Structure 1
C-alpha cells in the first residue's frame, strides 16, 4: 500500500480526529487507518490494531487517495423521515 503523501494540514486534521472523544468512532478508525498507512505500518499490523479486514483498508485508503479528506466520510446521508415532519410537529 505505502505512503499516503499527507500534507501537514491533512496530518493535523487526521491526528485531531484520531484523538478526539467527540468524533464518531467510525471516523476515528478511518483517521487512524490513514495515519498508520502513512507511517508505513504493515497490513497485518493495521488489521490487528484496528480490528478490521483488508476490504476496510482497501476501501478507505482508495477513497483517501482519490478524494483526500473529503473521501473519509460515509456517503449515505441517513433515512428520510417515515412520516412527514409537519405531521410529527402537530402531535
Structure 2
C-alpha cells in the first residue's frame, strides 16, 4: 500500500491527482504541515467500515463448500403450563 501526502493547496490545485493516488492507498492531506484528513476510495471505506453483507451473498462465496459444517440439532421442548 502506498501512502501519499498532499498539502491542502496541492489538493485544491489537482484533485484528479489525489483521486488517482487514492486508488493505490490512502492520501493524507496536511494543513499547515500537520495531517488533517485522509482521502480513500469508497470501496476501501466500506471495507474499513465493516459493511455488512447479505447472508445469501456470504454463503455463496467460493470455497465455502469445502468446509465441513454439521451442527447438532437443537433440542427444544415445550414447557408444562399450570393453569390451576
User: In which range does the TM-score fall when normalised by the shorter chain?
Assistant: under 0.3
The two structures have a TM-score, normalised by structure 1, of: 0.22
The two structures have a TM-score, normalised by structure 2, of: 0.24
Greater Cα radius of gyration, structure 1 or 2: 2
Structure number with higher relative contact order (C-alpha < 8 Å, ≥ 6 residues apart): 1
